[in-house]
Copies of this chain bind each other. A is one copy, B any other.
């Protein structure tokens, strides 16, 4: 089974919007074990859409067309599919009612234009869109004697995601004859390079066909190891994932900080919560980024007390009581971590200080960072790093590294 992707929109060609939809679709297709070899973007132009669709359907069994389902005259995905099928559009009364109700529930009248969204090529079926006005289209037909299927989905990402997960992928899998359940899980890691990680688990990647194992480098969110399992039932798929999960963790150890929707910050907040501890941060070069990441976790307020971004040296002294002579130093980082406990009334404190650039500071080169973690009843520990990055990446990298050090410290406690 091969399914290609056609993204529609002049604004995509002009770079006014980055086409993240195709990437997301590629990821979903790969995970479902469906080949995808050609992704195209064309503008809101009927002739070019028809040509691209015909061309893709010469080799692909299926094409997902993304976008061009809006109510305005330049939205012509419906017309393009009808032309490729060689049929007319039919206005579906039942869809008009649904679209009218969608407007009504928002207290608005349906504009006349939106009637066009009830047009479906003869012989095709609408795909329900419970969160938007544009229904999708499922068009299965014969082209030059071969079975082909075209799915049209909206360009609005959250409408598209839902429609693809609930309707398009199950239909594709059914057509591909796959009786299987496909499930994936990502182990998220921090603390080694992509090539280092690859080396550690190369033998598993080579040995494993089910689940398959892939890497995803997600910048300051971490390096992910994604397992994708196929099985006859949900339980069997989960069992395959559980077994490989255990295998990989025995190799990766404490590099793994979470799975799937977990983030470094949600993990750290969870660790603190488990011990009934609160957390405070004293930042410098990161300017508030560590606090901002922590505060982004829903429910953070039961653990996170706050953060002091003491950018100026005098603020380190006046607000945090730092007495260290040099502010890019172990002593300063330790004093900051302990000040985060004391000043913010927190059980656990993070202190971070360093040189983000553009210029060196106190004779220390750009990229020099000191991290300290203070926990109850233990001596405060500090480490340093020299980061060979630019200003923005030094700050981003320092943020996740500081949180990771706290994670490792909390793990090591009895």
Interfacial residues, chain A to chain B (CB-CB below 8 A): 12-20, 22-28, 30, 36-43, 45, 48, 52, 55, 214-217, 278, 281, 283, 285-292, 294-296, 298-301, 304-312, 314-315, 318-319, 343-345, 356-358, 391-392, 395
List B contacts of A287 (CB < 8 A).
288, 291-292, 294-296, 300, 304, 307
Flag if A298 contacts B345 (CB, 8 Å).
no
Give, as a whole number of angstroms, the nearest-CB distance from A34 to chain B: 11
List B contacts of A17 (CB < 8 A).
23
Flag if A26 contacts B15 (CB, 8 Å).
yes
CA A301 to CA B359, docked complex, whole Å: 11
Flag if B12 contacts A16 (CB, 8 Å).
no
Give, as a whole number of angstroms, the nearest-CB distance from A80 to chain B: 14
The one of B13, B15, B52, B315 that contacts A345, using a Cβ cutoff of 8 Å: B315
Flag if B19 contacts A15 (CB, 8 Å).
no
Q: Known contacts A30-B15, A39-B13: does B285 contact A295 (CB below 8 Å)?
A: yes
Sampled A-B contacts (21; CB under 8 Å)? A13-B26, A18-B18, A39-B40, A39-B41, A40-B41, A278-B312, A286-B292, A287-B307, A288-B290, A288-B291, A288-B292, A295-B311, A295-B356, A296-B392, A299-B358, A301-B311, A301-B312, A305-B312, A306-B312, A308-B309, A319-B343
Give the residue name and chain of the B residue nearest to A299 (CB): B358
List B contacts of A296 (CB < 8 A).
287, 391-392, 395
List B contacts of A214 (CB < 8 A).
14, 16
Q: Known contacts A12-B23, A309-B306: does B295 contact A315 (CB below 8 Å)?
A: no
List B contacts of A286 (CB < 8 A).
292, 295
List B contacts of A281 (CB < 8 A).
288, 309
Flag if A311 contacts B319 (CB, 8 Å).
no
Give, as a whole number of angstroms, the nearest-CB distance from A350 to chain B: 12
Flag if A16 contacts B216 (CB, 8 Å).
yes
Q: Known contacts A287-B296, A296-B392: does B37 contact A48 (CB below 8 Å)?
A: yes
List B contacts of A40 (CB < 8 A).
38-41
Flag if B295 contacts A306 (CB, 8 Å).
no
Flag if B15 contacts A18 (CB, 8 Å).
no
List B contacts of A26 (CB < 8 A).
12-15
Give, as a whole number of angstroms, the nearest-CB distance from A289 to chain B: 4
CA A391 to CA B292, docked complex, whole Å: 12
Give the residue name and chain of the B residue nearest to A28 (CB): B15
A16-B214, A307-B311, A319-B319 given; name 17 further pairs at CB < 8 Å: A12-B23, A14-B30, A16-B216, A18-B18, A18-B19, A18-B20, A278-B312, A287-B307, A288-B290, A291-B309, A291-B311, A295-B311, A295-B395, A298-B391, A299-B358, A301-B312, A306-B310
Q: Known contacts A23-B17, A38-B42, A286-B292: does B318 contact A311 (CB below 8 Å)?
A: no
Give the residue name and chain of the B residue nearest to A215 (CB): B16
Give, as a whole number of angstroms, the nearest-CB distance from A158 to chain B: 11
List B contacts of A395 (CB < 8 A).
292, 295-296
Flag if A41 contacts B38 (CB, 8 Å).
yes
CA A356 to CA B318, docked complex, whole Å: 30
List B contacts of A343 (CB < 8 A).
318-319
Give, as a whole number of angstroms, the nearest-CB distance from A133 to chain B: 18
List B contacts of A295 (CB < 8 A).
285-288, 309, 311, 356, 395
Among A20, A217, A311, A395, the most chain B Cβ lie within 10 Å of the Cβ of A311
CA A216 to CA B289, docked complex, whole Å: 27
